[in-house]
Structure formats: structure tokens, C-alpha cells
Structure 1
Amino acid sequence: MMSKRTTFLAGVLALLSTSVLAAENVEMFSTSGCGCCIGWMKHLEEAGFEVENENLAMADLYAKKMEAGLKPGLTSCHTGFVGGYVVEGHVPAAEVKRLLAEKPDAIGLTVPDMPAGSPGMGESDEPYEVHLVARDGTSTVYARYPK
């Protein structure tokens, strides 16, 4: 027979395994052979995320972006999904973790285009912004880099 303490601990562990670990699995879509997409994937994996990438034709990838609620001008070369959010482009892992912790009422995050210095795009001190995309498709600055 399990004690109340053991039952409580088992419940806590079950909660952690379903909510925390599941939120750290990223479903990623990109086109075949994109080096910067692979660089971003490695960046997320080094930060503790598990990333599963599926290569799509460009038209199918664009359709995924639009289905997620992203508007032209907010897109990049790859699209990820984690914890019910879309993560578009070269978003730093720290901001993905922040998004999952804060759980804002939003579609997700984007780093539009492919700015130098963003994860997967090589070293640079060029500034870039991470945007939080609202459900109506508008965006606001969520973070600025370099910090």
C-alpha cells in the first residue's frame, strides 16, 4: 500500500513528465538542406529541447506558416511548434523558454527574415528583434538582441 507522501510524489512526477517534458518537444518544418535551419535546430537541442524536423516543399512550408496565423513580413526560413505556440525563424532558445513559462495569449514568437547573429545565422553584433505575435496577427517586440 502506498503512503500519502508516495502518492503525492508520484502525482507530482506524473504532472512534470506530461507538462514540462511535452512542452520541450519542438516540431520543426523546413526545406531540405538549409544550413541555418540545421544551426537553429542544434541551438535548441543544446538548450535542452528535443527537435524533430520534417523537410517540406517550399509551397507546403509556406502553407504551414499561414495556417499558424503568421502574416507575410513575419516569416522566416523555418517554422516550429512547441507547447501550443508557433516559433518562426531564428528565435533564441531563451525566448522560447520564456514564452513557455509566461504562457501569453498569443500565436507565438517570430524573428522575421534571417538576421545575422541570430541562432543559426553565425556570429554578429547586428541588432535584431524577437516579436510576440498576437492572435489578430499583429506583433510587438518581445526581446531585443544583442542584450
Structure 2
Amino acid sequence: MSHLEDNELQVSSIFKVNMQMVKRQWRIPKGMEGCHTAVWQGRYVFEGHVPAQYIQQFLDSPPEDGIGLVVPGMPEGSPGMEGEFEPYIIYLLLENGDYRFYTRVLSEEIKDVPELSQ
């Protein structure tokens, strides 16, 4: 949450006992789960350690068939994770419950979000 706040995104925390139910509701595919689930205005979902810059880019221009972004697992060096940075992939979560490649995060210091393959 501090990473999001530091990047000027307003957040609030709601503790849910049954997060699997929340993940199923948003059709997060098995094996693509992260340790955090954020829902924006009941319309979009951001699963796992998605950097704030990509959340903002998504919200500024949501892909037509996209309902959110997913970073599976807990990649080393991703926002909120300690350790040496290792590149990782962000996936676009689709309305039909499927997903596809969104972008690859190559650097811990993200200043300009690169053009994405659509």
C-alpha cells in the first residue's frame, strides 16, 4: 500500500477472511494468484505486486477486453518485495477469465512505462 500511496494512488484496506472467494469472483486464474488483490471502484482488479505506474497506465487507457493486471507470485524486487531485482511479467486479465502478456518489467526503477504490446 505504501508503494501505491508514494505514487499518488489513493488506497484503503479491507481485510477479507476468504480471499479465495474474492479471487474467484474476479476470475483470477489458478496459478496466477498473488498475495494481494486490489479492486478499483468495483470495476477493475490488480492482483499481486503490480507497480503503481502500470496501474495508472491501465486506468488511463483500459484495454477494451481487459479487467485488470496480474503479477503472479511474489517476484524478487517487485514493489514491496525485498531482495535482488529479477525481471518479471505483468499479464492482462481478460473479461472471459483468460489472460495474456501485458508487459515485462525489466528494471526496479520504473520511470517511463514502455509501450506495450497489445
Band the TM-score falls in, shorter-chain normalisation:
0.7 to 0.9
Q: TM-score, normalised by structure 2?
A: 0.82
TM-score under structure 1 length normalisation: 0.67
Q: For residue 131 of structure 1, report the CA deviation from its aligned partner.
A: 0.5
Separation in 2, partners of 1:94, 1:143: 12
| 2:77 aligned partner | 117
2:23 partner letter: K
Query: Percent of pairs identical after alignment?
Result: 38
| Equivalent-residue separation in structure 1 for 2:102 and 2:24 (angstroms) | 21
Match of 2:13 among 36, 44, 53: 53
> Are 1:96 and 2:55 matched, yes or no?
yes
Distance 2:3 2:66 in 1: 24
Q: 1:85: Cα distance to partner?
A: 0.6
Off by >3 Å, runs of 4+ in structure 1: none
CA displacement at 1:123 relative to structure 2: 4.3
For the pair shown, the structure with the greater C-alpha radius of gyration is 1
Point out where structure 1 has 5 or more consecutive residues left out of the alignment.
1-40
Q: Deviations 1:18-62 (Å, cap 9, x if unpaired)?
A: xxxxxxxxxxxxxxxxxxxxxxx10000000111112222xx111
Corresponding residue pairs, total:
105
Structural RMSD (CA): 1.3
Which 5+ residue runs of structure 2 have no aligned equivalent? 108-118
Provide the rounded CA distance (Å) in 1 between the counterparts of 2:79 and 2:9: 14
Q: Secondary structure of 2:104's partner?
A: strand
